[in-house]
């Protein structure tokens, strides 16, 4: 989970946070019994970070 976030945070989220001079504390937690594969986690994190960036800019 950390790696999926680390690979995408600069591209999708940090620009919006910096544009509005915000401080952001973020915790993302997966609660489930099965381990998800990297591609699925990457896709879901991408969607989540885009939604968060859109909410910041709105």
Predicted local distance difference test score (pLDDT) of residue 38 = 96
- The Cα–Cα gap between 21 and 3 comes to 25
Of the candidates 30, 41, 37, 33, the one whose C-alpha atom is nearest the C-alpha of residue 6 is: 41
Predicted local distance difference test score (pLDDT) of residue 55 = 94
Predicted local distance difference test score (pLDDT) of residue 44 = 95
Q: What stretch of H or E contains 36?
A: none
Question: What is the DSSP code (8-state) at residue 12?
Answer: I
Q: What confidence category does residue 58 fall into, taking pLDDT thresholds of 50, 70 and 90?
A: confident
Over range 10-21, report the average pLDDT. 89
Interval 19-53: pLDDT, tens: 989 898 999 998 999 999 999 999 999 999 999 99
């Amino acid at each position: 989970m950390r790696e999926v976030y680390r690979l995408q945070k600069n591209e999708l989220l940090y620009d919006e946070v910096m544009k509005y001079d915000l401080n952001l504390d973020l915790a993302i937690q997966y609660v489930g019994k099965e381990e998800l594969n990297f591609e699925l986690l990457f896709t879901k994190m991408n969607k989540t970070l885009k939604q968060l960036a859109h909410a910041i800019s709105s």
